[in-house]
């Protein structure tokens, strides 16, 4: 089946530290991969996406590369800010069995301290 | 451009009651999806509607239902509420629900069942 596994949180960092949140997936077919972010009390916002192997998605200093050989889509940022504190969801979308839907990982909570 | 609007934002019901949640997608978007978010189960797909037709459904009991109107607005209904239905219900819209496309999420309707 199709699934997403991401590292458990919470991840606690100091401001300006390097961030990595690991995400691996299992999928039939050719998935598109996404990172969504959820700030407290809000819905989800798309952070970045990649739709084919070796694509790199980037936005607001965050990056993730679609690695087909390792079935991974790890999220990275070189220098986090307090305002990056949120829950991050890795997700995939693949056409399977006549349908497609967004399948989410469990989410990783990031807390950044000054 | 207005975002996805969900109403009501918060509601409290008692066991056995029913509830209807509403979602207005972004103008021009024809696909509307619903997700349930709980601390224990994370984000789970409920269903997707496109041009007034349900074309994708998650693993939820028949108490959960939905519909989409000709203007793409969608409603979901939960009958005979149970305590476990307490959750944040998120609606998301996209242009046509394509695999590579972005979902735009509303802020959610937080349901508490007492």
Question: Is the pLDDT at A34 greater than 70, yes or no?
Answer: yes
Tokens 């407290």 -> residue: A40
Please tell me if residue B97 touches chain A, with a CB cutoff of 8 Å: yes
Cβ <8 Å between A44 and B90: yes
Q: Copy the structure tokens of residue A81.
A: 């800010």
* A69 contact partners, CB below 8 Å, separation of at least 6: none
Confidence at residue A88, expressed as pLDDT on a 0 to 100 scale:
97
A63 phi and psi angles, rounded to 5 deg: -140, 150
B43: Cα within 13 Å, side-chain hemisphere: 30
**CB-nearest partner of B56 from A46, A99, A106:** A99
Confidence at residue A66, expressed as pLDDT on a 0 to 100 scale:
97
* B13 contact partners, CB below 8 Å, separation of at least 6: B19, B81, B111, B112, B113, B114
Cβ <8 Å between B105 and A106: no
User: Phi-psi region for residue A35, left (φ > 0), alpha (ψ -120 to 50) or beta?
Assistant: beta
pLDDT band at A98 (very low <50, low <70, confident <90, very high): low
Task: Summarize pLDDT for B14-65 with one digit per residue, the tens.
Answer: 999 999 999 999 999 999 999 999 988 899 999 999 989 998 889 999 999 9
Question: Is the pLDDT at A95 greater than 80, yes or no?
Answer: no
Confidence at residue A30, expressed as pLDDT on a 0 to 100 scale:
84
Give the integer Cα–Cα distance in Å for B97 and B93.
Answer: 8
- Over chain B, what is the mean pLDDT? 93
* A114 contact partners, CB below 8 Å, separation of at least 6: A14, A15, A82
> Minimal Cα–Cα distance from A101 to chain B, Å?
8
Q: Copy the structure tokens of residue B63.
A: 């108490």
Confidence at residue A48, expressed as pLDDT on a 0 to 100 scale:
96
Residues of B in contact with A107 (CB under 8 A): 42-43
Confidence at residue B93, expressed as pLDDT on a 0 to 100 scale:
93
Residues of B in contact with A93 (CB under 8 A): 99-100
Q: Copy the structure tokens of residue A85.
A: 């504190």
């Amino acid at each position: 089946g199709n699934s997403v596994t991401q590292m458990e949180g919470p991840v606690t960092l100091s401001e300006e530290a390097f961030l990595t949140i690991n995400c691996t997936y299992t999928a039939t077919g050719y998935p598109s991969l996404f990172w969504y972010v959820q700030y407290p009390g809000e819905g989800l916002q798309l952070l970045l996406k990649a739709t084919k192997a070796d694509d790199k998605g980037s936005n607001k200093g965050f990056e993730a590369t679609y690695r087909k050989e390792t079935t991974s889509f790890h999220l990275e940022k070189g220098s986090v800010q307090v305002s990056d504190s949120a829950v991050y969801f890795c997700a995939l979308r693949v056409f399977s069995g006549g349908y497609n839907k967004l399948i989410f990982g469990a989410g990783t909570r990031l807390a950044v301290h000054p | 451009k207005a975002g996805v609007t969900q109403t009501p934002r918060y509601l409290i019901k008692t066991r056995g009651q029913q509830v209807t949640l509403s979602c207005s997608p972004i103008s021009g978007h024809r696909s509307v999806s619903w997700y349930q978010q709980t601390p224990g189960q994370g984000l789970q797909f409920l269903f997707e509607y496109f041009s007034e037709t349900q074309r994708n459904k998650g693993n939820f009991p028949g108490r959960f239902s939905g519909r989409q109107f000709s203007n793409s607005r969608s409603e979901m209904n939960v009958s005979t509420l149970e305590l476990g239905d307490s959750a944040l219900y998120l609606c998301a819209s996209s242009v046509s629900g394509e695999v590579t496309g972005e979902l735009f999420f509303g802020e959610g309707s937080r349901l508490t069942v007492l």
